[in-house]
Structure 1
Amino acid sequence: MLIDVDPDGIHVSGNVTSRWSMSRTDRISARMSVLHYNRGSWEPTVFNSLTPDFCTAMFDPNQFWFKYWFKNFANREEMQEKCFSTAGTVLVYNPFTVVPRLNNVMGAPLKGRYKVVVLFEAFDERNQRRPSPVCFEVTGEIEKVKN
């Protein structure tokens, strides 16, 4: 996967091959949390999301996962069949640009260092958590842009 950042946004292209090997009957859960860096430590914010059945939600046009990320896959049929829990599944991106802007945010102004932490976990048929979660984070600066 290639990622390039410029004033127009985050440009994404290429592909990613999954190395996660879970049973296709496993349920994948996705959790996203936004944290703010304040005085030397990362503090939680009110911006959090839990998607208990991610493989179903990732191609639901009403979900933000689809709107901002998964609508850009070239191999949607394969992804819907295998999700990304099958080792060797290739996620093929159509090139796209993410414009990371928030509009109409109520509350205190957002400014400074933030990070988004995404955690994927697999659960078997008995709803027991599998031992190999996948986690990544993206860190950046937030500033108010005048229109």
Structure 2
Amino acid sequence: MLKVYCILVASLAGIWAADYEMILEDPDVFSPCTEPPPGSVGVKGLLNLDNLVTSQDSETIHISENVSTTWEVEPTDRISARIAMMHFNRGTWEPTVFSVATPDFCSVMFNEDQYWYKYWTKHIINREEAEKNCLRVPGTILAHKPFDVQLLVTNIRGATLHGRYKAVVTFEAIDEKNAPRPNTICFEIRGEVEKL
């Protein structure tokens, strides 16, 4: 009886799960944070995007070439990273249950189980240099093989997602005394979420 119940629950959970796609608002992909931490800078404070080639068709972002780091932090700093999804509801951005955070980004940037890896760092071809310098050494080249990104989330259970969402991305450098540096990086990726 318990086995039948478990199979039934698993089957229903699969039926109730849904897949979603985010259609970007900004063709440049990255937008400034609407409520940035004091002293923070946008994506250009982290990366020089001048050599990055991006194009977009209906649901795919095509990316190639490279970026170089511009963040003025110490090579010994620990980098914490976070992505928090927010939903626009009745004129206000509200937090959702969807977030990803790591207290030490550099130690997991090439970990295959991390979202950072699945959507970005697995496409970096000069892994040895990127792993050694991470985002901490200005001028470090992060060379990419051409890749495509679809902003998909799959197998989501619970309430139906709809409307405007944004991913708020923050990187924070933590010094050797465990104190955050004042030049936090904050940028957003905004779009409309549609059920597939």
TM-score (norm. length: structure 1): 0.94
Question: In structure 1, what is the Cα distance between the partners aligned to 2:70 and 2:141?
Answer: 10
Q: Match for residue 78 of structure 2?
A: 27
**1:43 matches 2:111:** no
Report the more deviating stretch, 47-56 or 11-20.
Answer: 11-20
Query: How far off its partner does 1:92 sit?
Result: 1.1
Question: In structure 2, what is the Cα distance between the partners aligned to 1:142 and 1:14?
Answer: 28
- Can you give the 5+ residue segments of structure 2 that lack an aligned partner in the other structure? 1-51
Deviation per CA, 1:8-66, whole angstroms, max 9, x where unpaired?
51111121111112211110000110001111111110001210000011011121211
Q: How many residues align?
A: 145
Question: In structure 2, what is the Cα distance between the partners aligned to 1:4 and 1:141?
Answer: 18
Q: Over aligned residues, Cα RMSD in angstroms?
A: 1.1
Alignment of 1:1-147 (within 5 A): 1-145=52-196
Question: In structure 1, what is the Cα distance between the partners aligned to 2:182 and 2:194?
Answer: 38
- Which AA in structure 2 matches 1:77? E
Partner of 1:80, secondary structure, is: helix
Question: In structure 2, what is the Cα distance between the partners aligned to 1:125 and 1:99?
Answer: 37
Structure 1 or 2: larger helix share? Answer: 2
Question: In structure 1, what is the Cα distance between the partners aligned to 2:182 and 2:81?
Answer: 15
- Can you give the 5+ residue segments of structure 1 that lack an aligned partner in the other structure? none
* Residue identity (%): 50
Q: Which runs of 4+ in 1 moved over 4 A?
A: none
Q: Which has the larger radius of gyration?
A: 2
Q: Match for residue 40 of structure 2?
A: none
* More RCO (CA 8 Å, sep 6+): 2
TM-score (norm. length: structure 2): 0.71
